[in-house]
Amino acid sequence: MKNISYIVSFLTVSFLLFSCQDVVDIELDSASKRLVVEGAVQSHLDTQFVKLSYTSDFFETTLPDYSALSNAEVELFEDNISLGKMTFHTKKEQFEIFHRPEIGSEYYIDITLPTGELFRSEPEELRFAGQIDSIYSEVDESNFILGDAVQVLLSTQEVEGTGDAYQWKVFINGEYQSTGEDLFFINDDLIEGNTLNRAPVYVFSSDEYDNRIEEDGRIEVVVWQAGITRNYYRYIAQLADQSFTGGPFDTPPAEIRSNIYNTANDEERALGYFYAADVDVADTLFLE
């Protein structure tokens, strides 16, 4: 139901006739550095990854130093059995392990920092994502926000049984569409057992469409359909919320609770998430 909050946000903006926004300088406290973890096991990949870093000052303008923790130890577990230590890949600046995960299995990682502290992720079950049955595009001339718009639509069958959640990731010309507005996810409270026909996963405004056309005169669209846990669903729902926090009808931002905790004191949490996902990749779509 995220769309409702987007509509409300949109409305807010439309009616703030006299409003104005400007970038301001403010001073923020800087806290001590905290561990940040981003990692996943994904069923369509042979190599699984974990990236470690520390938080930076909020106005810092560089990417985190992912090699600062290259001497940490990261171990991946499947159904409580160790799959071994992950190795640090210096070029990609991430820990990797060669392993194909299985649907129905549970995964977690142990991270031993050079200080000796042990962080562990709460286990994530790899849930079946179903399949994208078809993917296609359509011109929508009546889009009330964007005017003439091009929509990417797909059809799929929701997996029987409750407790499922899905995220669709869209790659345009090989580039992952990662802004808050691009996040598209749903849980099966709303769609249990249904056939999803013509589910819109991405919408190009006419300007964006023109700008995205490559030299070969077309746009390449790849869509991943990921089956995710309810816990990770909640995590990305909050990520999306934090993309819209300024308006009167937006929820104020708050810490998004990670699934990674310090084993010595499980109230000390890292930031980020380690998740498991079954992924079905749709046939590549070319828009011309």
Shortest spacing between CB 71 and another protein, in angstroms: 20
Nearer to another protein, 83 or 232 (CB): 232
C-alpha span between 75 and 87 (Å, rounded): 9
Closest CA to 98 of 47, 56, 137, 146: 47
Helix (H) or strand (E) holding 232: helix 230-241
Instruction: Decide whether 1 or 81 has the Cβ nearer to another protein.
Output: 1
Min CB(217)–another protein separation in Å: 27
Residue 83 vs 152, nearer CB to another protein: 152
**H helix or E strand, kind and range, residue 212:** helix 206-212
Q: Smaller CB distance to another protein: residue 226 or 282? A: 226
Nearest distance from C-beta of residue 282 to another protein, angstroms: 17
- Candidates 205, 9, 230; CA nearest to 127 is 230
- Kindly tell me which of 118 and 271 has the beta carbon lying closer to another protein: 271
Nearest to 251 by CA among 32, 67, 78, 9: 9
Which amino acid would we find at residue 107?
Y
Contact 37, 271 (CB under 8 A): yes
The strand pairing partners of 77, in sequence order, are 82, 108
Q: Do the bridges between strand 147-157 and strand 132-143 make them parallel or antiparallel, or are there none, so unpaired?
A: antiparallel
Task: Please report how close the Cβ of residue 17 comes to another protein at its closest, in angstroms.
Answer: 9
Compute the least distance from the CB of residue 84 to another protein, in Å: 25
Q: Are 40 and 276 in contact (CB under 8 A)?
A: yes
In whole angstroms, how close is the CB of 110 to another protein at the nearest point? 20
- Of 26 and 81, which CB lies nearer to another protein in the complex structure? 26
